[in-house]
Amino acid sequence: MALTLAEASKLSNDILLQGVVETIVKDSPILQRLPFIEIVGNGLTYNQEKTLPSVDFYDVGDTWVESTPTFEQKTANLKIMGGDADVDNFLKTTRSNIQDLEAAVVELKAKAVKDKFEETFIYGDSTANPKQFDGLRKLIDTTTASSQVIAAGATGATLTLSMLDQLIDAIKGGKPDMLLMSRRSRRKINALVRASGAMVESDRDQWGNFVQLWDGIPIGVNDWILDTHTVSGGVETGTTGGDCSTIYAVQFGEWALCGLTSPGGLIVEPIGSMESKDATRTRVKWYVSLALFSSVKAAALIGVKD
């Protein structure tokens, strides 16, 4: 069964782990909703759904035509992500009356883990860096023309609301669970809606944060999505040197876009006293990856200009 990071942490009695997970999740729209499957081993080989089989009507005595779905075999390997947080024992002893120094240092390390995951969630490329898992841009493959890559224009164009509708329609089998974009793209949507005389819907998530909605779909802001992509011939040719951005539509779930993790998920491990210095070390680590089980559960609107 796939569980979000927050739900999985509730099954643990580790108070430090629960605090780290809360720190990570409350500011990350992705980690609030992305479910994770625990896998045994260092990777998962799965069949990605490409096309559905066809069905037809027949008369009595007709020859029935066989049709099967098509799949593409994919492999997602778990990658090691994390970092160490050292707290000087002298500072811990003399400053703890003002603030719990160890808790503050571990919290900052947790936020760094969140930032690294969100960046890799978009731009991860195991070909360019074998230590990373493949991110959303690679899984959709915005460098190749397909039904899941909607181009705003041959070299990019100003965003329109109809482009958003087209992006949503690219997700089959229900609406997307989230529209993921940069802050610039969100500001553009707000401006377009206000210009039409309306207001963007909003709601609160379970953490009390305001969430904007488009067509009832939560808008998630990812600070790592660049507004400097280059587009040529209706495909992305680079992530720097241009003035375009990308908006992603995703559906989360075990048969859609899902995270992969080792049993236990995110780990907060007290290493203890260091030999080489008067400090105590805590390690935050995560064996994690990403899998897209159906190609029609994620889509990208590329070439979005301000």
The per-residue pLDDT for range 192-247, each reduced to its tens digit, is: 999 988 777 888 877 777 889 998 999 999 999 999 999 999 999 999 999 999 99
Report the mean per-residue pLDDT for the chain: 89
Residue 4: pLDDT over 70: yes
The per-residue pLDDT for range 233-289, each reduced to its tens digit, is: 999 999 999 999 999 999 999 989 999 999 888 888 888 888 889 998 989 899 999
Give me the pLDDT at residue 219, please: 94
In this prediction, residues 294-298 reach a mean pLDDT of: 93
Give me the pLDDT at residue 264, please: 81
Residue in 182, 172, 165, 255 with CA at minimum distance from that of residue 216:
165
Give me the pLDDT at residue 13, please: 67
The per-residue pLDDT for range 72-98, each reduced to its tens digit, is: 888 999 999 999 988 888 887 877 665
% of residues, the chain, pLDDT over 70: 97
- pLDDT class for 169, splitting at 50, 70, 90? very high
In this prediction, residues 13-41 reach a mean pLDDT of: 83
Q: What distance in Å separates the CA atoms of residue 279 and residue 264, rounded to the nearest whole number?
A: 27
Question: Distance between alpha carbon 227 and the CA centroid of its chain, in Å?
Answer: 18
Instruction: Tell me the two tokens of residue 207.
Output: 């953490």
The structural domains of the chain, with segments of one domain joined by +, span 3-49+71-133+256-292, 151-250
Give me the pLDDT at residue 6, please: 75
Q: What distance in Å separates the CA atoms of residue 136 and residue 248, rounded to the nearest whole number?
A: 8
Q: Domain 3-49+71-133+256-292 belongs to what architecture? A: 2-Layer Sandwich (3.30)
The per-residue pLDDT for range 100-119, each reduced to its tens digit, is: 777 788 888 888 988 999 99
Any idea how long the chain is?
306
Pairing between β-strand 70-77 and β-strand 43-51 as defined by DSSP bridges: antiparallel
Q: What is the pTM of this model?
A: 0.89
The per-residue pLDDT for range 125-160, each reduced to its tens digit, is: 999 999 999 999 999 999 999 999 999 999 999 999
